[in-house]
Amino acid sequence: MATGWGSLLQDEQQLEELARQAVDRALAEGVLLRTAREPSSSNVVSYAPFTLFPSLVPTALLEQAYAVQMDFNLLVDAVSQDAAFLEQTLSSTIKRDDYTARLFDIHKQVLKEGVAQTVFLGLNRSDYMFQHNTDGSPALKQIEINTISASFGGLASRTPAVHRHVLNVLSKTKEAAKILSNNPSKGLALGIAKAWELYGSANALVLLIAQEKERNIFDQRAIENELLAKNIHVIRRRFEDVSEKGSLDQDRRLLMDGQEVAVVYFRDGYMPNQYSQQNWEARLLLERSCAVKCPDIATQLAGTKKVQQELSRVGVLEMLLPGQPETVARLRATFAGLYSLDMGAEGDQAIAEALAAPSRFVLKPQREGGGNNLYGEEMVQALQQLKDSEERASYILMEKIEPEPFGNCLLRPGSPAQVVQCISELGIFGVYVRQGKTLVMNKHVGHLLRTKAIEHADGGVAAGVAVLDNPYPV
Ligand code: ADP
Ligand code: MG
């Protein structure tokens, strides 16, 4: 993957003019975030950071990522239904990781009482990087799958117009036409609408569990807008509101401010610091209800890094997806090396290998949201500390993916346009709906490309590290 826009990146004056045009177009298209200073209000907004140019992505890898998305939907759904697999996989982790343990407790309580709903809705995003093989070819390798609050499907539908604009200003109309249209929020809303319909109550609402401080509100609004266009009403409430004004009736119907809720869509509740004791109780109430949860607690657990690591173990995909060797092969082709750190010989060996060649590995705790992984010297120090303690089971070790860097220009509010060496991460959005044993929807619904400077090992757009981008298929 060569840089693609080489000479254009050297003309500083032209870059500045293009950047002005691009920023104004981004604002006009609604590529927006609330500001860090006023994250609870839309009085002042700015553009979400983005690349000036789309980044080159091999068409074959883009197609591969789309082709495997329905398989990942099936896999997540299968894991979420296999209580024995979840229990066994997470048993060592929950002894040492309080957050995963609390999620798991809710899962157990719900199973004990009996799951009140037969409809399941999955909205996920599977993320990949392009491993640069020694022979020069790139390979699609999964970083992780997000089964809760997978974001930027709304803004990702608005960025193609911005990159087309930039290329059109340069009279590169043929190139502009190659930028793929993309509308994940529409597809995500289709999934929510299907679940709402199967719930079967015309006046029931969708409850979006929102954070008080939400810079990424326009991303969420894109989905809300799609639903309203289908006459499905969305209310936004915090966990705190659920504790104060949410209740279950005798049939475990969820009532919020007295109104029946058909679907609960979580855009909060994926990090430990989002849960007070009160919020944990609210989460339990929602899980016990017969509203469709997106995701339900089992599906959230299916997205943990520990589960991801166990899925790569020989025979596990075959056990979860019996009689589907082609599906299994497509999935496995995207797996990077993943290693358990549970106590024992296998974990000891993984630690020894990571200590011997730290640049080849990443150490991951059971966390979401970016900025939690450890690399290089930090990883070495952590491993040395954890080595002899059972706490190490709350982490996994992963092979570090090394994409080939390329040049692009990053645009951020308040900063001058910056030409830097970058790497990208491709996400594919997946949607599925299951009713009882029947899968009534299984789709891929669009993509997200995020790009960041190579000096940042970790972190996404929300963490202020990566910026929005579009694949330019080559
Ligand atoms: P989170 O749940 O916090 O998003 P991720 O597993 O997605 O955790 O890791 C966060 C970021 O760290 C990714 O967006 C990617 O930039 C980087 N990263 C994660 N795993 C790897 C890996 N195996 N190789 C290279 N970079 C990685
Ligand atoms: Mg991630």
In this predicted model, what pLDDT tens digit does every residue of 90-124 receive, in sequence order? 999 999 999 999 999 999 999 999 999 999 999 99
Q: Along the 474 residues of the chain, how does pLDDT read in single tens digits?
A: 455 898 899 999 999 999 999 999 999 999 999 999 999 999 999 999 999 999 999 999 999 999 999 999 999 999 999 999 999 999 999 999 999 999 999 999 999 999 999 999 999 999 999 999 999 999 999 999 999 999 999 999 999 999 999 999 999 999 999 999 999 999 999 999 999 999 999 999 999 999 999 999 999 999 999 999 999 999 999 999 999 999 999 999 999 999 999 999 999 999 999 999 999 999 999 999 999 999 999 999 999 999 999 999 999 999 999 999 999 999 999 999 999 999 999 999 999 999 999 999 999 999 998 889 999 999 999 999 999 999 999 999 999 999 999 999 999 999 999 899 999 999 999 999 999 999 999 999 999 999 999 988 776 787 778 999 999 999
Annotation marks residue 281 as catalytic: no
Burial of 388 (0-12, 13-18, 19+ CB in 10 A): exposed
With a 6 A CB cut-off, is 310 part of the ligand 1 pocket?
A: no
Tell me if 429 sits within 8 A of 445, measured CB to CB. yes
- The answer to pTM > 0.85 is yes
Shortest-distance atom of ligand 1 to CA 452 = 16
The atom of ligand 1 lying closest to the CA of 399 is 23
Q: How far is the CA of 143 from the centre of ligand 1 (A)?
A: 6
Determine the Cα–Cα distance for residues 337 and 334; give it in Å rounded to an integer: 10
Please tell me the distance between residue 397's alpha carbon and the centre of ligand 1 in angstroms: 12
Q: Judge if the beta carbon of residue 58 lies within 6 A of ligand 1.
A: no
Residue 370 Cβ inside 6 Å of ligand 1? The answer reads: yes
Is 369 near ligand 1, meaning CB less than 6 Å away?
yes
Closest ligand to 338 CA? 1
**144 classed as catalytic:** yes
Q: Is the CB of 297 under 6 A from ligand 1?
A: no
Mutate to test the pocket of ligand 1, among 428, 458, 469 (most ligand atoms within 8 A of CB): 458
Residue 368 among the catalytic residues: yes
Is the CB of 123 within 6 Å of ligand 1? no
